[in-house]
Structure 1
Amino acid sequence: MRIVKTTLPSNSILNISHKKYDYVDSFQGELNDIDNKFNSVDIGKAFFSSGPKWIERLFALRNKIVSLFGLKTSGNISDQKKQFENFKCEPDQQLGLFKVFAKTENEIILGEDDKHLNFRVSLFLEEKEKKSTTKELTISTTVEFNNWFGRFYFLPVRPFHKRIVPSMLKEIIKELEKKD
């Protein structure tokens, strides 16, 4: 499966706002949707249920470190599993560190605002061609730094982020294609 670096989709909610971000990246992969049944809720749920174990361990380490600085953490895993059972991908719902900010039929915006930075993750599903069973799934991340600590915090995060997101995208696509 090929994942490519791309640009923030022009019709993404994150792009329509014409906001200037301190950091933006986007990665895209192809998803086979034979029955044309996947929507933003499916993509959002797969985002939370398909991550590789090494990413879970990295987030656990991140939570331990940032809690020392009073930053938000994703909470404990058992609470997240309970939250996931009731998760409908509706605006203002929270799952771990991620709050749902917006949802359309083909896009969900997740993220969080903290004292050091604000981030958003767009999971954007788009038909490759009309009447095609292949769709493009793009994960985009935007970051706004609120202070110098946000910039400092993101320095070591950035290289990990560029490895984590393509891996997550592959796993999301694999999980969804198993259901098709």
Structure 2
Amino acid sequence: MCARDTLVRPFGIKTSGQLRAQLARSGARHIGILRIFSGNEREVMLGEDDSHLDFRVSVLRQSETEMDGGSDARLVVTTVVRCHNRLGRAYITAIRLFHRRVVIASLRHAARRGWPLA
């Protein structure tokens, strides 16, 4: 996030610190720097809306039984981005190479903290 913040600051894209401050002022429910749009015992929908793009992240807790007859649980992460302008498209193009690694690292971090059971 530090590298991302350094790279996006000159373009007027919100840094993680700005996102945290915005969430604190708004009183919105959030996880980290992501606002919670909806959630239940199986899925949480996170994201942010901005002038250059809107994005959503769905984190779904799915049992192996639902998938293929097993008994363990898994997390399924889906991201959706809607670009509003050239800056949004440029940003997505730039992070596309790193996005999958960031999601995997985030899932590993969540697993260390006890997800999907916690």
In the alignment, the residues of structure 1 paired with residue 7 and residue 35 of structure 2 have an alpha-carbon distance, to the nearest angstrom, of 21
> What's the offset of the Cα at 1:64?
2.3
TM-score by length of 1: 0.52
In the alignment, the residues of structure 1 paired with residue 54 and residue 32 of structure 2 have an alpha-carbon distance, to the nearest angstrom, of 15
1:7-156 aligned within 5 A: 59-75=1-17, 92-129=28-65, 133-156=71-94
Query: Can you give the 5+ residue segments of structure 1 that lack an aligned partner in the other structure?
Result: 1-58, 84-91
Shift >2 Å, 4+ stretches: 94-97, 130-133
Instruction: Name the SS for the 1:144 alignment partner.
Output: strand
In the alignment, the residues of structure 2 paired with residue 150 and residue 74 of structure 1 have an alpha-carbon distance, to the nearest angstrom, of 17
> Which amino acid counterpart does residue 174 of structure 1 have in structure 2?
R
Number of aligned pairs? 110
TM-score by length of 2: 0.76
In the alignment, the residues of structure 1 paired with residue 31 and residue 72 of structure 2 have an alpha-carbon distance, to the nearest angstrom, of 29
Distance 1:97 1:73, change over 3 A: farther
* Equivalent residue number for residue 172 of structure 1: 110
In the alignment, the residues of structure 2 paired with residue 100 and residue 170 of structure 1 have an alpha-carbon distance, to the nearest angstrom, of 20
> Which amino acid counterpart does residue 11 of structure 2 have in structure 1?
F
Percent pairwise identity? 33
Distance 1:147 1:98, change over 3 A: same
Please report the RMSD computed on the Cα atoms of aligned residues, expressed in angstroms.
2.8
Higher RCO (C-alpha 8 Å, min separation 6): 1
